[in-house]
């Protein structure tokens, strides 16, 4: 994979543009934490070796977060002729985990799930079997780019 992204050809003149473009292309993959391209001379100015050292980025990524939704609703009072403002608070959160560069083939799998808990807005008709709003996605396989 690294050789595919390098813009350097054996026996071709070595220029700064090729080195810079090679580093940019390797960085764009998002698979490496550190990229170092070194040029070593051997006394003959027409011959040089290019050494590419990379440090792989973490393969597993974990993320999460949360928040609070505040909603103002207008509800009728017991006489149903007057209304009042009611504030509702709904906690929410998400979690994601991913694994990249599966098998060294620049493939990834990610799982993302989120949860939001909302209060029952109709207090006159409580629903004891109601469950919180949840949404999740199945693992997806994609090519990391």
pLDDT tens, residue by residue, 44-93: 877 888 889 999 888 899 999 999 999 888 888 777 778 888 888 999 99
What contacts 59, CB < 8 A, 6 or more positions away?
99, 100, 101
**What is the model's pLDDT at position 97?**
96
Residues of the chain with CATH 3.10.20.310: 2-56
What contacts 91, CB < 8 A, 6 or more positions away?
66, 67, 68, 69, 116, 117
What contacts 108, CB < 8 A, 6 or more positions away?
98, 99, 100, 101, 102, 141, 142, 143, 144
What contacts 34, CB < 8 A, 6 or more positions away?
53, 54, 55
Hey, what are 59's tokens?
Answer: 């393969």
**What is the model's pLDDT at position 107?**
87
Length of the chain: 145
The CATH label, of 3.40.605.10, 3.90.550.10, 2.30.30.60, 3.10.20.310, for the domain at 2-56 is: 3.10.20.310
**What is the model's pLDDT at position 122?**
60
The pTM of this model reads 0.51
């Amino acid at each position: 994979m690294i050789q595919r992204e390098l813009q350097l050809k054996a026996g071709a003149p070595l220029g700064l543009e090729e080195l810079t473009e090679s580093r940019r292309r390797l960085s764009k993959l998002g698979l490496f934490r550190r990229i170092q391209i070194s040029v070593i001379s051997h006394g003959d100015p027409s011959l040089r070796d290019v050494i590419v050292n990379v440090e792989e980025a973490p393969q597993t990524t974990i993320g999460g977060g949360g928040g609070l939704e505040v909603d103002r609703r207008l509800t009728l009072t017991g006489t149903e002729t007057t209304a009042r403002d009611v504030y509702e608070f709904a906690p929410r959160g998400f979690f994601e985990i991913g694994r990249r560069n599966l098998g060294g083939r620049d493939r990834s799998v990610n799982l993302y799930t989120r949860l939001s808990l909302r209060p029952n807005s109709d207090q006159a008709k409580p629903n004891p079997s109601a469950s919180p709003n949840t949404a999740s996605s199945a693992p997806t396989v994609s090519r990391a780019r």
